[in-house]
Structure 1
Amino acid sequence: MGKINNVTEFVFWGLSQNLKVEKVCFMVFSFFSSVILLGNLLIMLTVYVGKLFKSPMYFFLNYLSFVDVCYSSVIAPKMIVDLLAKTKTISYDGCMLQLFAAHFLGCTEIFILTVMAYDRYVAICKPLHYMTIMDGERCNKMLLGTWLGGFLHSIIQVALVVQLPFCGPNEIDHYFCDIHPLLKLACADTYVIGVVVIANSGIITLVSFVILIISYIFILVYLRKQSAEGRHKALSTCGSHIAVVIIFFGPCTFMYMRPETTFSEDKMVALFYTIITPMLNPMIYTLRNAEVKNVMKKLGGRWIFWEAKGK
């Protein structure tokens, strides 16, 4: 028997059914979306103009910002437009495309954060061999691995959902197409697929998080033997990364390291890794990084100079 699919589009419930709340959310998330775009583009411009991409840390930070811009663009614009719409619909194909892009870019971000933790471990614990271990060729291979890993993860997720029959209802209690809400709507037993989803998403999140924790344990143990000044300098570069990891991985673990169930809190939790983290990344990395701040000051000085010259 072939797959029965009567559903050609899905209807989102969105963040709220209250019109006043939705109008407030529209203004708030429009502002957040602008900050995400401008903040991450500023990081990329700073890395490029300051020629910081020669350093592995900034090489990966540049691509983290690029992924953040793409990731939020997959979810935020549609969510913001829907906040003012009476019916929030998305076509079946559009939903599958959004599912693919969200998991592809989200997983790539997880892998980039993991590689950045390894980079900090090598820089702090093996400083004399840092440029040998983290040479250009290895950085490129690691970056390629993050993209391929994200692509493979996402293809598996979409392949699991596409084979499912959807015969109605077609209402998703969410603001974008994600795996658990879609499994809930399927007209079939999704227990096995739910287990595979946990194995796929959950294991990636858990293994990456464990690698991150181990990296920082090694760093902290190593720093105990260093001078107070050396400890402070190393922790200032690691502190920003630890903050991002906690904000991003905490909600991801809650969402994907559990059986196939949905909770009313899911939408609020999802906001952390779809909107809040991409917005905070540029702030966290620039506020705690003297080198990036210096390049930004030079950029600001150049801009003022050209403005004055133009007048």
Structure 2
Amino acid sequence: MAAAVTPCPPRRLARAQGAGAADWLAELPGLVERLLDRWELTAERVAEPGGRSSMTVLVRCADGERAALKLCAPGAPAALEEAALRRWDGHGAVRVLRGAPDEGALLLERLRGETSLRALPEAKAMLEAVSAARRLWVDPGAEHPFPTVALRTARSEPALLAAADEEAGPLVAEALRLREALVADAPEQLLLHGDFRQGAVLASDSGRAPWLAAGPEPVVGERAWDLARLVRDRLHDLAASPGAPAVTRRRVTRLADAVEVDAERLRGWALYRAVESGVGHLAAGRRAEGEMLLEFATWL
């Protein structure tokens, strides 16, 4: 039975924008209460700081099991996330206990959300991240629902072209050139996490593995796509280090060698993804983050 709580969206989520966001935020407390009642859950607290596209309520099931109720905002397809998590079936990733994807709701096993790989020293974190990623790279299955990397990146092209001003123009042009070449001869088609980074790998008490991935944005493509996001992890620390460009290029080489992918393909996707994210941050008014991402792209 639901506890007498009124879950409030975390601050970052409360600033969510986009089609339907305001209506969804207004309806969110009622949706949470209905799900608590339907699935016989007791709410404990809302996980903070939370994400920009979902809210997670820490709950207990009727049998006392600790779980996490995740509510995805419009535009964050819960059905794809559920499909990927069920495909992995707990191998390297959090398990789904129940799902109502039409309502954007997933009931997940509870991980230690306050502890990610970012709590580890850099070298150890990267080793654990590579180990976690390897477990996720599986065949997506016949007639899978996941978009390909080619489709995912094609959707971003209009926004990139719109940002091709004098400042970002050369980087945007290079990113689009690399993207065209990379999708033309992709060496493999595996299920990928899609947003794989140290912060997406959380500590677990499940006994299956000490670290499990969460929050996928699943796509099908080559391993270098997932590693490309990992290349720029801890970007602020990287930017503050002496010789940041050289450190970045060494990181590309080490990651490529660790999983036997082509270093040039990894470099290309790292540049593309940095430019894509940088342009997105600039468009959202987060200028400092956007400029740092574009500067990172020049190091590659």
Q: What TM-score does the superposition give when structure 1 sets the normalisation length?
A: 0.24
Relative contact order, higher structure (CA 8 A, sep 6+)? 1
More helix by share: 1
More strand by share: 2
Max radius of gyration: which structure? 1
Length-normalised TM-score, structure 2? 0.25
